[in-house]
Amino acid sequence: MKLSVGLGNPGKKYEFTRHNLGFLCVNRLANRYKIKLNKTQAKSRTGTGIIEGEEVMLARPQTFMNLSGQSVVLLKNKLRLAPGDIIVIHDDLDLPAGRIRVRCGGGSGGHNGIKSIIAEVGSPDFNRIRIGIGRPPAFRTSSGMSEDEVIDFVLSTFNSEEKKLIEPAIPLAANAAVSLITSGITATMNTYNANTEKSGRNGKENNDG
**Catalytic residue list:** 19
Phi, psi of 132 (to 5 degrees): -70, 135
Closest to 16 (Cα-Cα) out of 24, 28, 7: 24
Q: What is the CA radius of gyration of the chain?
A: 16
Write b or e for each residue in 23-41: b if 16 or more Cβ atoms lie within 10 A of its Cβ, otherwise e.
bbbbbbbbebbebebeeee
- 3-state class of 19 per DSSP? helix
Cα 104 → chain centroid: 13
Phi, psi of 122 (to 5 degrees): 85, 15
What single DSSP character describes residue 17? Answer: B
